[in-house]
Amino acid sequence: MLLWVLRAIFWIVVSAVLFGAVASTDSGVGSADFAVVMVAGLGMAIFVFVLEVLTPKRNFAALAGVFFALLVGMLISIALAAVVDMVSDSYGIHVAPQTLRAIKWVLGLCVCYLTISVVMRTKDDVRFVIPYVEFAKQTKGARPLVLDTSAIIDGRIVDLCRGNLFDSPVVVPRFVLGELQFIADSADKLKRQRGRRGLDILNEMQADSSIDVEIDDTIVEGIDDAKGVDQKLVVYTRAFNGRLVTTDYNLSKVAQVREIDVVNINDLASVLKVVALPGEGMQVKIIKPGEEADQGIGYLDDGTMVVVEDARNKIGRELLISITSSLQTSAGKMIFGKFEGYAQQESASGGGGRRRGIDRRPPANGARNRQ
Protein backbone atom coordinates (compact mmCIF):
# COMPACT_ATOMS: atom_id res chain seq x y z
CA MET A 1 0.00 0.00 0.00
CA LEU A 2 2.79 2.39 0.92
CA LEU A 3 4.52 1.64 -2.38
CA TRP A 4 1.43 2.63 -4.38
CA VAL A 5 1.16 5.87 -2.38
CA LEU A 6 4.77 6.61 -3.32
CA ARG A 7 4.00 5.92 -6.99
CA ALA A 8 0.98 8.24 -6.87
CA ILE A 9 3.09 11.01 -5.35
CA PHE A 10 5.68 10.47 -8.09
CA TRP A 11 3.12 10.95 -10.87
CA ILE A 12 1.60 14.00 -9.13
CA VAL A 13 5.01 15.66 -8.95
CA VAL A 14 5.79 14.80 -12.59
CA SER A 15 2.42 16.16 -13.71
CA ALA A 16 2.97 19.36 -11.72
CA VAL A 17 6.35 19.89 -13.36
CA LEU A 18 4.92 19.32 -16.86
CA PHE A 19 1.99 21.65 -16.23
CA GLY A 20 4.45 24.22 -14.97
CA ALA A 21 6.32 23.88 -18.24
CA VAL A 22 3.06 24.40 -20.17
CA ALA A 23 2.28 27.50 -18.13
CA SER A 24 5.74 28.92 -18.83
CA THR A 25 5.08 29.04 -22.59
CA ASP A 26 3.47 32.45 -22.10
CA SER A 27 6.72 33.74 -20.62
CA GLY A 28 8.64 33.41 -23.87
CA VAL A 29 9.61 29.74 -23.95
CA GLY A 30 9.74 28.51 -27.52
CA SER A 31 7.57 25.69 -28.81
CA ALA A 32 10.66 23.62 -29.64
CA ASP A 33 11.94 23.88 -26.08
CA PHE A 34 8.47 23.04 -24.79
CA ALA A 35 8.36 19.91 -26.95
CA VAL A 36 11.78 18.84 -25.71
CA VAL A 37 10.73 19.29 -22.08
CA MET A 38 7.48 17.38 -22.56
CA VAL A 39 8.97 14.47 -24.52
CA ALA A 40 12.07 14.13 -22.35
CA GLY A 41 10.24 14.54 -19.04
CA LEU A 42 7.33 12.25 -19.87
CA GLY A 43 9.61 9.70 -21.51
CA MET A 44 11.95 9.50 -18.52
CA ALA A 45 9.01 9.25 -16.10
CA ILE A 46 7.43 6.38 -18.04
CA PHE A 47 10.77 4.60 -18.39
CA VAL A 48 11.54 4.82 -14.67
CA PHE A 49 8.01 3.73 -13.70
CA VAL A 50 8.00 0.72 -16.03
CA LEU A 51 11.50 -0.28 -14.86
CA GLU A 52 10.39 -0.09 -11.23
CA VAL A 53 7.23 -2.13 -11.83
CA LEU A 54 8.95 -4.84 -13.88
CA THR A 55 11.67 -5.43 -11.26
CA PRO A 56 9.73 -6.43 -8.13
CA LYS A 57 12.60 -8.34 -6.54
CA ARG A 58 15.29 -5.76 -6.09
CA ASN A 59 18.61 -6.58 -4.52
CA PHE A 60 20.12 -3.79 -2.48
CA ALA A 61 23.65 -5.13 -2.90
CA ALA A 62 23.22 -5.24 -6.69
CA LEU A 63 21.76 -1.71 -6.78
CA ALA A 64 24.60 -0.41 -4.62
CA GLY A 65 27.08 -2.03 -7.01
CA VAL A 66 25.39 -0.39 -10.01
CA PHE A 67 25.45 3.07 -8.42
CA PHE A 68 29.07 2.61 -7.37
CA ALA A 69 30.03 1.56 -10.90
CA LEU A 70 28.06 4.49 -12.36
CA LEU A 71 29.88 6.91 -10.09
CA VAL A 72 33.26 5.50 -11.10
CA GLY A 73 32.26 5.64 -14.78
CA MET A 74 31.21 9.29 -14.52
CA LEU A 75 34.52 10.24 -12.89
CA ILE A 76 36.46 8.41 -15.60
CA SER A 77 34.29 10.09 -18.27
CA ILE A 78 35.08 13.55 -16.89
CA ALA A 79 38.78 12.73 -16.98
CA LEU A 80 38.55 11.37 -20.55
CA ALA A 81 36.54 14.43 -21.68
CA ALA A 82 39.49 16.61 -20.67
CA VAL A 83 41.77 14.25 -22.61
CA VAL A 84 39.56 14.62 -25.72
CA ASP A 85 39.76 18.42 -25.48
CA MET A 86 43.53 18.25 -25.06
CA VAL A 87 43.96 15.96 -28.10
CA SER A 88 41.69 18.19 -30.20
CA ASP A 89 43.66 21.32 -29.29
CA SER A 90 47.13 19.70 -29.54
CA TYR A 91 46.69 18.15 -32.99
CA GLY A 92 44.53 20.93 -34.42
CA ILE A 93 41.51 18.75 -35.04
CA HIS A 94 38.83 21.24 -36.00
CA VAL A 95 35.36 19.83 -35.42
CA ALA A 96 32.09 21.53 -34.59
CA PRO A 97 31.36 21.97 -30.87
CA GLN A 98 28.21 19.85 -31.23
CA THR A 99 30.28 17.00 -32.70
CA LEU A 100 32.88 17.23 -29.93
CA ARG A 101 30.10 17.23 -27.34
CA ALA A 102 28.52 14.16 -28.94
CA ILE A 103 31.87 12.34 -28.85
CA LYS A 104 32.18 13.07 -25.13
CA TRP A 105 28.65 11.80 -24.45
CA VAL A 106 29.20 8.57 -26.39
CA LEU A 107 32.54 8.07 -24.64
CA GLY A 108 30.92 8.64 -21.25
CA LEU A 109 28.10 6.17 -21.99
CA CYS A 110 30.57 3.53 -23.13
CA VAL A 111 32.71 3.97 -20.01
CA CYS A 112 29.68 3.83 -17.68
CA TYR A 113 28.40 0.70 -19.41
CA LEU A 114 31.82 -0.92 -19.12
CA THR A 115 32.21 -0.15 -15.41
CA ILE A 116 28.70 -1.38 -14.58
CA SER A 117 29.19 -4.65 -16.51
CA VAL A 118 32.57 -5.26 -14.85
CA VAL A 119 31.20 -4.66 -11.34
CA MET A 120 28.14 -6.86 -11.94
CA ARG A 121 30.31 -9.73 -13.19
CA THR A 122 32.96 -9.44 -10.47
CA LYS A 123 30.92 -8.10 -7.55
CA ASP A 124 32.22 -10.81 -5.21
CA ASP A 125 35.83 -9.74 -5.89
CA VAL A 126 35.33 -5.98 -5.58
CA ARG A 127 35.88 -6.13 -1.82
CA PHE A 128 39.41 -7.45 -2.37
CA VAL A 129 40.29 -4.41 -4.50
CA ILE A 130 38.39 -1.87 -2.39
CA PRO A 131 38.06 -3.50 1.05
CA TYR A 132 35.81 -0.81 2.56
CA VAL A 133 33.06 -1.16 -0.06
CA GLU A 134 31.52 -4.18 1.68
CA PHE A 135 30.41 -3.51 5.23
CA ALA A 136 30.01 -6.26 7.79
CA LYS A 137 26.44 -6.96 8.77
CA GLN A 138 25.66 -5.98 12.35
CA THR A 139 23.45 -8.44 14.20
CA LYS A 140 21.36 -6.93 16.98
CA GLY A 141 21.11 -8.95 20.17
CA ALA A 142 22.24 -12.53 20.60
CA ARG A 143 23.28 -14.51 17.56
CA PRO A 144 20.47 -16.85 16.49
CA LEU A 145 20.70 -20.63 16.64
CA VAL A 146 19.83 -22.12 13.24
CA LEU A 147 18.52 -25.67 13.64
CA ASP A 148 19.35 -28.43 11.20
CA THR A 149 16.94 -31.29 10.50
CA SER A 150 19.18 -33.75 12.34
CA ALA A 151 19.26 -31.54 15.45
CA ILE A 152 15.46 -31.36 15.53
CA ILE A 153 15.01 -35.11 15.12
CA ASP A 154 17.67 -35.74 17.76
CA GLY A 155 15.43 -34.02 20.31
CA ARG A 156 18.10 -33.09 22.85
CA ILE A 157 17.93 -29.45 21.76
CA VAL A 158 14.62 -29.16 23.66
CA ASP A 159 16.22 -30.05 26.98
CA LEU A 160 19.21 -27.82 26.25
CA CYS A 161 16.93 -24.83 25.60
CA ARG A 162 14.82 -25.57 28.66
CA GLY A 163 17.96 -25.76 30.76
CA ASN A 164 18.82 -22.16 29.74
CA LEU A 165 22.06 -23.32 28.18
CA PHE A 166 21.50 -21.04 25.18
CA ASP A 167 20.48 -17.42 25.60
CA SER A 168 19.66 -17.00 21.93
CA PRO A 169 16.58 -17.15 19.71
CA VAL A 170 16.07 -20.45 17.90
CA VAL A 171 15.40 -20.17 14.16
CA VAL A 172 14.11 -22.92 11.86
CA PRO A 173 14.30 -21.93 8.17
CA ARG A 174 11.29 -22.77 6.04
CA PHE A 175 13.29 -25.18 3.84
CA VAL A 176 14.26 -27.21 6.94
CA LEU A 177 10.58 -27.57 7.83
CA GLY A 178 9.95 -28.66 4.24
CA GLU A 179 12.63 -31.34 4.52
CA LEU A 180 11.07 -32.60 7.77
CA GLN A 181 7.71 -32.90 6.03
CA PHE A 182 9.35 -34.69 3.09
CA ILE A 183 10.97 -37.21 5.48
CA ALA A 184 7.68 -37.68 7.35
CA ASP A 185 5.97 -38.54 4.04
CA SER A 186 8.67 -41.03 3.04
CA ALA A 187 7.73 -44.56 2.05
CA ASP A 188 10.50 -45.93 4.28
CA LYS A 189 9.14 -46.70 7.74
CA LEU A 190 12.25 -45.65 9.66
CA LYS A 191 12.53 -42.33 7.80
CA ARG A 192 8.83 -41.72 8.26
CA GLN A 193 9.12 -42.27 12.01
CA ARG A 194 12.11 -39.93 12.23
CA GLY A 195 10.32 -37.23 10.26
CA ARG A 196 7.21 -37.43 12.41
CA ARG A 197 9.37 -37.36 15.53
CA GLY A 198 11.02 -34.18 14.27
CA LEU A 199 7.66 -32.51 13.61
CA ASP A 200 6.44 -33.50 17.08
CA ILE A 201 9.58 -32.07 18.69
CA LEU A 202 9.17 -28.83 16.73
CA ASN A 203 5.55 -28.55 17.87
CA GLU A 204 6.68 -29.17 21.43
CA MET A 205 9.25 -26.38 21.18
CA GLN A 206 6.65 -23.95 19.80
CA ALA A 207 4.21 -24.83 22.60
CA ASP A 208 6.85 -24.21 25.28
CA SER A 209 6.79 -20.56 26.36
CA SER A 210 10.36 -20.78 27.69
CA ILE A 211 11.77 -21.46 24.20
CA ASP A 212 11.93 -18.64 21.67
CA VAL A 213 11.57 -20.54 18.38
CA GLU A 214 10.64 -19.01 15.02
CA ILE A 215 9.89 -20.42 11.57
CA ASP A 216 11.65 -18.00 9.23
CA ASP A 217 10.54 -17.39 5.63
CA THR A 218 13.25 -14.84 4.82
CA ILE A 219 14.71 -15.15 1.31
CA VAL A 220 18.48 -14.80 1.51
CA GLU A 221 20.65 -13.79 -1.44
CA GLY A 222 22.17 -16.83 -3.13
CA ILE A 223 20.00 -19.38 -1.33
CA ASP A 224 18.08 -20.25 -4.49
CA ASP A 225 21.34 -21.14 -6.22
CA ALA A 226 22.41 -23.49 -3.39
CA LYS A 227 21.89 -27.18 -4.04
CA GLY A 228 20.57 -29.25 -1.17
CA VAL A 229 19.43 -28.33 2.32
CA ASP A 230 22.98 -28.46 3.74
CA GLN A 231 24.28 -25.79 1.36
CA LYS A 232 21.19 -23.67 1.99
CA LEU A 233 21.81 -23.91 5.72
CA VAL A 234 25.39 -22.72 5.27
CA VAL A 235 24.27 -19.75 3.15
CA TYR A 236 21.41 -18.89 5.52
CA THR A 237 23.51 -19.09 8.70
CA ARG A 238 26.30 -17.04 7.15
CA ALA A 239 23.85 -14.34 6.00
CA PHE A 240 22.38 -13.92 9.51
CA ASN A 241 25.71 -14.35 11.35
CA GLY A 242 24.17 -17.17 13.34
CA ARG A 243 25.35 -20.45 14.82
CA LEU A 244 24.45 -23.72 13.13
CA VAL A 245 23.08 -26.43 15.44
CA THR A 246 23.42 -29.93 14.00
CA THR A 247 24.38 -33.53 14.68
CA ASP A 248 25.61 -34.09 11.12
CA TYR A 249 29.38 -34.58 11.24
CA ASN A 250 29.97 -33.75 7.56
CA LEU A 251 27.79 -30.63 7.68
CA SER A 252 29.61 -29.37 10.75
CA LYS A 253 32.98 -29.76 9.02
CA VAL A 254 31.78 -27.98 5.87
CA ALA A 255 30.37 -25.13 7.97
CA GLN A 256 33.65 -24.80 9.87
CA VAL A 257 35.53 -24.57 6.56
CA ARG A 258 33.17 -21.71 5.63
CA GLU A 259 34.07 -20.03 8.95
CA ILE A 260 30.63 -20.56 10.48
CA ASP A 261 30.23 -21.28 14.19
CA VAL A 262 28.82 -24.76 14.73
CA VAL A 263 27.15 -26.24 17.79
CA ASN A 264 27.45 -30.00 17.36
CA ILE A 265 25.14 -31.63 19.87
CA ASN A 266 27.16 -34.84 19.74
CA ASP A 267 30.34 -32.96 20.65
CA LEU A 268 28.45 -31.23 23.45
CA ALA A 269 27.16 -34.56 24.71
CA SER A 270 30.67 -36.00 24.54
CA VAL A 271 32.00 -33.14 26.66
CA LEU A 272 29.20 -33.57 29.18
CA LYS A 273 29.84 -37.34 29.11
CA VAL A 274 26.21 -38.31 28.75
CA VAL A 275 26.68 -42.03 28.04
CA ALA A 276 24.81 -45.22 28.76
CA LEU A 277 26.15 -46.99 31.83
CA PRO A 278 27.31 -50.61 31.56
CA GLY A 279 24.85 -52.98 33.17
CA GLU A 280 21.87 -50.74 32.57
CA GLY A 281 18.83 -52.32 30.96
CA MET A 282 17.21 -51.29 27.71
CA GLN A 283 14.46 -52.43 25.38
CA VAL A 284 15.09 -52.22 21.65
CA LYS A 285 13.66 -53.67 18.45
CA ILE A 286 16.09 -55.42 16.14
CA ILE A 287 15.83 -54.01 12.61
CA LYS A 288 18.63 -55.60 10.61
CA PRO A 289 21.67 -57.88 10.97
CA GLY A 290 25.02 -56.43 11.99
CA GLU A 291 28.40 -56.64 10.31
CA GLU A 292 29.81 -59.24 12.66
CA ALA A 293 28.46 -62.74 13.17
CA ASP A 294 25.46 -63.05 15.52
CA GLN A 295 25.06 -59.26 15.76
CA GLY A 296 21.70 -57.51 15.41
CA ILE A 297 21.14 -53.79 14.89
CA GLY A 298 18.42 -51.63 16.44
CA TYR A 299 17.82 -47.91 16.81
CA LEU A 300 16.55 -45.65 19.55
CA ASP A 301 13.97 -42.95 18.85
CA ASP A 302 16.72 -40.35 18.36
CA GLY A 303 18.53 -42.51 15.78
CA THR A 304 21.21 -43.92 18.12
CA MET A 305 22.49 -47.26 16.83
CA VAL A 306 22.31 -50.21 19.24
CA VAL A 307 24.49 -53.23 18.45
CA VAL A 308 23.25 -56.39 20.20
CA GLU A 309 25.21 -59.63 20.44
CA ASP A 310 23.41 -62.93 19.75
CA ALA A 311 20.52 -61.10 18.06
CA ARG A 312 21.14 -61.77 14.37
CA ASN A 313 18.31 -64.33 14.23
CA LYS A 314 15.89 -62.12 16.18
CA ILE A 315 15.13 -59.48 13.55
CA GLY A 316 11.73 -57.88 14.09
CA ARG A 317 11.55 -58.83 17.78
CA GLU A 318 11.53 -56.59 20.83
CA LEU A 319 14.49 -57.58 23.01
CA LEU A 320 15.62 -56.81 26.50
CA ILE A 321 19.34 -56.18 26.58
CA SER A 322 21.97 -55.17 29.10
CA ILE A 323 24.41 -52.49 28.03
CA THR A 324 28.05 -53.56 27.90
CA SER A 325 29.60 -50.33 26.57
CA SER A 326 28.87 -47.16 24.63
CA LEU A 327 30.81 -44.97 22.22
CA GLN A 328 30.23 -41.23 21.73
CA THR A 329 31.85 -39.51 18.76
CA SER A 330 31.19 -36.39 16.68
CA ALA A 331 29.44 -38.61 14.14
CA GLY A 332 26.96 -39.91 16.71
CA LYS A 333 26.51 -42.36 19.57
CA MET A 334 26.65 -46.15 19.48
CA ILE A 335 25.52 -48.50 22.25
CA PHE A 336 26.69 -52.10 22.56
CA GLY A 337 24.72 -54.69 24.50
CA LYS A 338 24.00 -58.35 24.87
CA PHE A 339 20.76 -60.24 24.61
CA GLU A 340 19.07 -61.00 27.93
CA GLY A 341 15.54 -61.96 26.97
CA TYR A 342 12.43 -61.11 25.00
CA ALA A 343 10.28 -58.15 25.95
CA GLN A 344 7.03 -59.02 27.66
CA GLN A 345 3.82 -58.13 25.79
CA GLU A 346 5.54 -57.15 22.53
CA SER A 347 2.30 -56.27 20.85
CA ALA A 348 1.51 -53.62 23.49
CA SER A 349 5.00 -52.21 23.89
CA GLY A 350 4.80 -49.84 20.88
CA GLY A 351 7.91 -48.47 19.19
CA GLY A 352 11.27 -49.69 20.38
CA GLY A 353 14.07 -47.66 21.74
CA ARG A 354 12.70 -46.54 25.13
CA ARG A 355 15.13 -47.14 27.94
CA ARG A 356 13.64 -49.09 30.83
CA GLY A 357 14.62 -51.63 33.41
CA ILE A 358 14.82 -55.29 32.43
CA ASP A 359 11.73 -57.16 33.59
CA ARG A 360 12.26 -60.74 32.62
CA ARG A 361 12.89 -64.20 33.86
CA PRO A 362 16.53 -64.81 34.77
CA PRO A 363 18.47 -66.40 31.93
CA ALA A 364 19.67 -69.92 32.26
CA ASN A 365 23.34 -68.93 32.41
CA GLY A 366 22.82 -67.19 35.75
CA ALA A 367 23.30 -63.62 34.59
CA ARG A 368 23.09 -61.03 37.34
CA ASN A 369 19.70 -59.69 38.33
CA ARG A 370 18.28 -56.34 37.35
CA GLN A 371 19.45 -53.41 39.45
Give the per-residue pLDDT at 280.
86
With 70 as the cut, is the pLDDT of residue 352 above it?
no
Give the per-residue pLDDT at 209.
83
Q: Evaluate whether residue 95 is within a structural domain.
A: yes
**CATH number for the domain harbouring residue 211:** 3.40.50.1010
- Put simply, whether the predicted model's pTM sits higher than 0.85 gets the answer no
297 pLDDT band, cuts 50/70/90, is very high
Q: Evaluate whether residue 295 is within a structural domain.
A: yes
288: containing domain = 275-348
For residue 121, count CB atoms less than 10 angstroms from its CB and return exposed for 0-12, middle for 13-18, buried for 19 or more. Answer: exposed
With 80 as the cut, is the pLDDT of residue 342 above it?
yes
Instruction: For residues 229-233, give the mean pLDDT.
Output: 87
Give the per-residue pLDDT at 364.
42
Q: Evaluate whether residue 328 is within a structural domain.
A: yes
3-class SS letters over the chain: CHHHHHHHHHHHHHHHHHHHHHHHHHHCCCHHHHHHHHHHHHHHHHHHHHHHHHCCCCCHHHHHHHHHHHHHHHHHHHHHHHHHHHHHHHCCCCCCHHHHHHHHHHHHHHHHHHHHHHHHHCCCCHHHHCCCCCCCCCCCCCCCEEECHHHHHHCHHHHHHHCCCCCCCEEEEHHHHHHHHHHHCCCCHHHHHHHHHHHHHHHHHHHCCCCCEEEECCCCCCCCCCCHHHHHHHHHHHHCCCEEEECCHHHHHHHHHCCCCEEEHHHHHHHHCCCCCCCCEEEEEEEEECCCCCEEEEECCCCCEEEEECCCCCCCCEEEEEEEEEEEECCEEEEEEEEEEECCCHHHCCCCCCCCCCCCCCCCCCCCCCC
With 80 as the cut, is the pLDDT of residue 134 above it?
no
With 60 as the cut, is the pLDDT of residue 131 above it?
no
Give the per-residue pLDDT at 371.
34
Give the per-residue pLDDT at 275.
58
* Residues of the chain above pLDDT 90, percent: 9
Residues 171 and 191 in one domain: yes
Q: Evaluate whether residue 254 is within a structural domain.
A: yes
Q: Evaluate whether residue 246 is within a structural domain.
A: yes
Q: Evaluate whether residue 371 is within a structural domain.
A: no
Query: What's the structural domain count of the chain?
Result: 3
Q: Evaluate whether residue 43 is within a structural domain.
A: yes
Classify strands 243-246 and 332-342 as parallel, antiparallel or unpaired: unpaired
Give the per-residue pLDDT at 368.
39
4 pLDDT band, cuts 50/70/90, is confident
Asked which of 271, 293, 322 is the last residue of a domain, the reply is 271
Residues 169 and 118 in one domain: no
Give the per-residue pLDDT at 308.
93
* pLDDT tens-digit map of 97-111: 777 777 777 888 788
* pLDDT tens-digit map of 188-215: 888 899 899 999 999 998 888 888 888 8
